[in-house]
Chains A and B, each alone.
Chain A
Amino acid sequence: MKTTNRRQFFKRMALAGVGVMAAPLLSAKSAVAMKLRPRHDEDVGMLYDATKCIGCRSCEVACKKANGMPFEYDPQGIWDAPIDLSDKTLTIVKLYTGDQEQSFIKRQCMHCVDPACVSGCPTSALIKQDNGVVTWNIDACVGCRYCQMGCPFNIPKYEFDAQYGRIRKCEMCANNGLLDKGQTACSNACPTGAIAFGIQQDLIKTAKSRIRKNPGTYFQDKIYGELDSGGTGVLYMAGVPFDKLGLPDLPEYSSARISEGIQHTIYQNMVAPIVIYIGLAIAAFRNIRKSHKKTEE
């Protein structure tokens, strides 16, 4: 009698195991099949052309001024000399030097079409606005730093030195009112036209016509961010490989699609959890009653 019970137990255990295993397999499949997020017609963005950039860093200065960001001094304490993006520096121009080639690169938030940070943020502190800009809300933020873990470009920065740190990142001047006037501080300041601000679709057209007119100038005739990581709002053109400039090789979908695909398959309208809950409750109810009877006997 006892052995059959045990056998049943393991049989049921194995069945449950198979069920649990099958569910995510199905969901992974549907995650891939899930449609990618589209780039909207009204989305604004920027186009950075590294071949036009002279590395004057006017954009950095303008950005600090517009957003009231503190300086990061050099060891002598004279110049504002940030070496990377940080909680004090929202945009930066860096220089890459290879064997035969050299290129400037301006880094900042990419304002992804399908941002991983927005997908991960548990309290809706990071929001993708209707105009495509990714903004941060101080009242909603928990400071969990999941956005930092998720961002494929490592853009959001947290103020680790502050008692109550904030997440700092480029908000495309939506935070300081310039965007309402149809401008951004960095593109305004650029003397060579290396940074263009505008509707993303128009920027892609501009980039394509530049590629047509200047064959051989641009690396692989590629616009980085047109498709990479599901598309980005800040687009890049350069004469050198993008991975040398710190822009990683990413698939043509955002990791947020996979994550949300799995999440939505499992929790679609909460049907599965509710059904499972009812099943569990019935099983538990019967088993408890059975064991009550046993003790009464």
Chain B
Amino acid sequence: MAHVNAKPLGGKILTPSVILMLFVAGAGIYFLFVRYIYGIGAVSNLSNYMPWGIWKVINVIVGAALVCGGYACAFTVYLFNQGHYHRYVRPALLISLLGYSFAGFSLFYDVGRYWGLFNFLIPKYWQGNSVLFEVGLCVMTYIGVLSLEIAPAIIEKFSHVEGRLRVVLDKLYAFLDRFLFLIISLGILLPTMHQSGLGGLAVVMGQKISPLWQSPLISLHHLISCMAMGYGCVIVTEMLVSHDYKETQHMEILSQLAKVMFMIMFVFLVLRMSEVLRSGAMALAFKGNLDSISFWTEMLLMVGGLWCVRNDQVRMKPNNIFLGSCLIMAAGSLYRLNVYIIGFHPVPGVTYFPSVPELSISLGMVCLQLIFFIMIIKTFPIIAKERR
């Protein structure tokens, strides 16, 4: 991990955009107080027919998939030994750590009896049949693993420290470096388990989910799409935080990542379409209702994203791979939204649209996450800089 020359970006933290995001986050936090005092019903449009809203679906399920960069990177760099992607590892891990931590935090306002979340750790309450139990336990462990993976960056920050603390930090650094392979492989195994589990959650909902999305292979669909989204996340992050992509040699590396993303998303598209055709749900896509519109939007985003990164030539243009990654991430997000909200029909005629306070809590938490990200990359050595 130490082979990448990463440096803090430095600069002012309270830029106008950060201040704007602070206001959005502030509104979200205000409504969080309301939620904690008066209950979930006071701020949300959730009902007994639509008990899962955007907090769980966007902030947890979509959120965890969007920040799969750490997973995709660990996969590429350590499993397939593609060392030249090393520079993307740290930013991706940081995004994953923040994303998963916020997903975990979101549960604390989404669930009604939040202290009960600690029951996940008490053996007498364990429930091995439950997909949600597996996902919960996996995510908790993964947050720990991600913290260990990112720890060297924090230690490097304190390289000027002298005395006894130095010895301890050096020992810790050496320890992490030595057992990195054990941590990294957990960092590959756990996301594989819980990302497929996040799709597996839908299986028990059976007929309540439209056949356009429900399938015994739904775990696999979630797993494969999250990998593509992870690569998209790495590309978008890299292009937003660093201008190195303007050099051809970096663009080549990025376009390779885009190629992997293309291939995975293509597999996903084939799998999804074949499953819809196999199950005979295709007729539902031509009903002209919200389900079919959403289905085709999802397909359009996916095909559009794939088109942007279709061959080596177009992949060398920064605009193309940026747009392609964004579209693929949007397609994967809409897919998850379709499974759990738009395609979820407990009884005919039930609809759900989030309330304003509900939306501002969701949005506020996303802004808070971005603020943390900006603060950290400006003060800790996360982003690789190559200046010649």
Contacts and interface: CB of A to CB of B under 8 A. Distances in A.
B385 interface: no
Interface residues of A, number: 71
Interface in B313-352: 344, 346-347
Judged by DSSP, the binding face of A is helix
Interface stretch (B73-81, B290-298, B353-361): B73-81
Nearest to B124: A124
Contacts of A12: 80
Interface string A134-166: 000000111111101110101001111111111
A262 B78 contact: no
A158 B180 CA distance: 44
A273 B193 contact: yes
Contacts of A250: 206-207
Interface of B: 3, 36-42, 44, 46-49, 51-52, 77-83, 107, 110-114, 116-117, 119-120, 124-134, 136, 180-182, 184-186, 188-189, 192-193, 196, 200-201, 203-208, 216-217, 219-220, 223-224, 256, 260, 263-264, 267, 271, 344, 346-347
Interface in A79-127: 86-87, 116, 119-125
Given A148-B51, A263-B129, A164 B112 contact: yes
Contacts of B203: 255, 258-259, 262
B112 A149 contact: no
A239 interface: no
B124 to A, nearest CB: 8
A288 B180 contact: yes
Contacts of A166: 112-113
A149 B81 contact: no
A277 interface: yes
Contacts of B49: 154
Contacts of A122: 120, 127, 130, 132-133, 136
Given A17-B267, A119-B130, A258-B216, A295 B184 contact: no
Interface string A23-47: 0110010010000000000000000
A6 B263 CA distance: 14
Contacts of B40: 160, 165
Nearest to A290: B81
Contacts of B81: 287, 290-291
A142 B196 CA distance: 22
Interface stretch (A49-57, A181-189, A201-209, A278-286): A278-286
20 contacts: A13-B263, A17-B264, A24-B216, A28-B217, A86-B48, A116-B205, A121-B127, A123-B120, A141-B113, A149-B205, A162-B41, A162-B112, A163-B39, A255-B205, A259-B131, A259-B204, A262-B219, A273-B193, A276-B192, A290-B81
A70 interface: no
A9 interface: yes
B125 A124 contact: yes
A277 B116 contact: no
A280 B131 contact: no
Nearest to B38: A163
B220 A280 contact: no
A154 B347 contact: yes
Given A20-B220, A124-B127, A287 B206 contact: no
B256 A6 contact: yes
Contacts of B260: 10, 13
A267 interface: yes
Nearest to A25: B217
Contacts of A145: 51-52, 111-112
A191 interface: no
Nearest to B203: A259
B206 A255 contact: yes
A263 B131 contact: yes
Contacts of B52: 145, 149
Contact of B78 (A248, A260, A284): A284
B216 A28 contact: yes
Contact of B112 (A20, A158, A267, A290): A158
Nearest to B347: A154
A172 interface: no
A190 B271 CA distance: 53
A18 B219 CA distance: 15
A294 interface: yes
A21 interface: yes
A240 interface: no
Given A123-B125, A149-B51, 6 more contacts: A20-B224, A21-B220, A122-B136, A146-B132, A276-B189, A280-B184
